[in-house]
């Protein structure tokens, strides 16, 4: 079973400005800390014409104690103001998959919409579907908090 999601947020800023913010590793550091992450690293790499943003996060494991390390990788397409993303949960690559898209669409000269969607799949017998639904609900619940933070960051630019 796969859980699909899509969130949308509107911003009073040019689409290009929002796109540039999304590709800024320092923005991701600040946003992740705002969302409650303590251990985080972010960096960019240029791979041909593609800007790649890599965000590593460490957090307490949900089960069994210890720590979980996950990596978010974004491949930005400046011509389309979009990105493909995937999340890797280290040590769970065969059991967990999360990937999707982010795109910025102009809604006028000073207004734009951020659309983020994707799929979450957990190959865990019996409870996988319930955990997928819980993760999806958390993403949707946190979307407003992320949008408010992003609006505040855009206002600084």
- Model confidence, pTM: 0.86
CATH number at residue 134: 3.30.530.20
* Tens of pLDDT, residues 136-153: 566 666 778 889 999 999
How many domains are contained in the chain?
1
Structural domain harbouring 52: 2-155
* Tens of pLDDT, residues 93-113: 888 888 999 999 999 999 999
* Tens of pLDDT, residues 58-93: 988 766 778 889 899 999 999 999 999 999 988 888
Residues with Cβ within 8 Å of 114's Cβ and at least 6 positions away in sequence, in order, are: 8, 9, 10, 11, 18, 22, 102, 103, 104, 147, 150
């Amino acid at each position: 079973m796969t859980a699909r999601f899509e969130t949308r947020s509107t911003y009073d800023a040019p689409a290009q400005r929002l796109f540039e913010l999304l590709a800024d590793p320092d923005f991701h550091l600040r946003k992740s800390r705002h969302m409650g992450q303590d251990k985080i690293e972010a960096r960019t790499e240029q791979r041909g014409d593609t800007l790649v943003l890599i965000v590593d996060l460490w957090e307490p494991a949900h089960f069994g104690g210890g720590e979980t390390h996950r990596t978010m990788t974004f491949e930005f397409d400046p011509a389309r103001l979009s990105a493909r993303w995937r999340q890797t949960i280290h040590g769970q690559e065969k059991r967990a998959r999360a990937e999707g898209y982010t795109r910025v669409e102009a809604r006028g000269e000073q207004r734009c919409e951020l659309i983020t969607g994707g799929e979450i799949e957990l190959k865990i017998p019996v409870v996988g579907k319930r955990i997928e639904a819980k993760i999806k609900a958390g993403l949707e619940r946190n979307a407003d908090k992320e949008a408010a933070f992003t609006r505040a960051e855009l206002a600084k630019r």
